Amino acid sequence: MKFLKRIGVNLSSPKNPGLKGYITFYRLDSGRHYKVYYVEDKFYSSKEVCNKTNAIIKEVSSESQHHYSIDIFFEDPARYYFVSYHNSGTHFSD
């Protein structure tokens, strides 16, 4: 698994002002992309995605915190407030 980038996301709403999260992007050895979503530094969900079709291959979520409005906020680029890349990527071996 190779780290590609991290994106900070403003998840604020009237019910949850100031809520922040981020998405961490990885590339798996298979070539697929793996996205991990965090809310306030706690695991929220993850998706393994085909990099050609963007189809979701596998998805895991934290059922105790899952909320559909947060899913929508994570997918809205207007809510992104930072992007950090690693130039050569960091490889995580088993």
Task: Domain ranges for the chain, please list them.
Answer: 2-91
pLDDT range class, residue 94, cuts 50, 70, 90 = very low
Q: In what order do the strands lie in the sheet with 56-61?
A: 56-61, 42-49, 33-39, 20-27, 2-10, 80-91
Please tell me whether the overall predicted TM-score, pTM, comes out greater than 0.75 for this model.
yes
Q: Is 23 helix (H, G, I), strand (E, B) or coil?
A: strand
Q: Which residue carries 């961490």 as its tokens?
A: 24
Q: Which tens digits make up the pLDDT trace of 50-77?
A: 988 989 999 998 876 667 888 899 999 9
Q: Which tens digits make up the pLDDT trace of 5-49?
A: 999 999 999 988 999 999 999 999 999 999 999 999 999 999 999
